[in-house]
Amino acid sequence: MGWNLLFWLVICFPANIALLASTFYQVLILSDLESDYINPFDAASRINYFVLPEYVGQGALCALCLFTGHWFMFLLTVPVTCYHLRLYVKREHLIDVTEVFRVLNAEKKYRIAKLALYLTVLIVTIFSIGEITDDGGTCRRVTRGAMGWETPGGGRQSFDVGRCTIKLCT
């Protein structure tokens, strides 16, 4: 449980948040460019600043899922990683300032699709963290009785805390 929790909580969760935030920022910049709130040079330079770190982070996360045996997460992220690799090898990963308006709709749709994928990966990560931290124990009702805390089976706890009813999981 320890290493698995460390993997999901310390590595995957922050990486997914970073990828989600980066992609959301890129969609926001493209929307600003479409509405003519920002010029093409600034838009291209702001988006291109995040492209390579995003590709490296996505590839590292995919490889880490492969090496740690998290097959579902690996299969979920491998198509985007392969597409990123193809774009990088063909040198099509950066947005060109002179062609930004011609490819604006396609780039925006591509980044919205990536945003949906990263959101799905984040939801899978959150559910995985919840699955790991759930100990699967049975829950018993504990009430405040005259002699202290009591369980339905007659067992008592030795601590005394105000008037309340709590649920104790064992």
Q: Block means of pLDDT (10 residues each) for the chain, length 170 residues?
A: 78 92 95 92 94 95 91 93 95 90 92 95 87 59 53 49 46
If you compute the radius of gyration of the chain from its CA atoms, what whole number of angstroms results? Answer: 24
Q: Give the domain ranges of the chain.
A: 2-133, 139-169
pLDDT value for 155: 53
Q: What would you measure as the largest C-alpha separation in the chain, in angstroms?
A: 80
Residue 140's nearest CA partner among 105, 110, 166 is 166
pLDDT value for 11: 85
Rounded-to-integer distance, Cα 27 and Cα 41, Å: 16
Check if the beta carbon of residue 100 is closer than 8 Å to that of residue 16. no
pLDDT value for 164: 45
pLDDT value for 7: 82
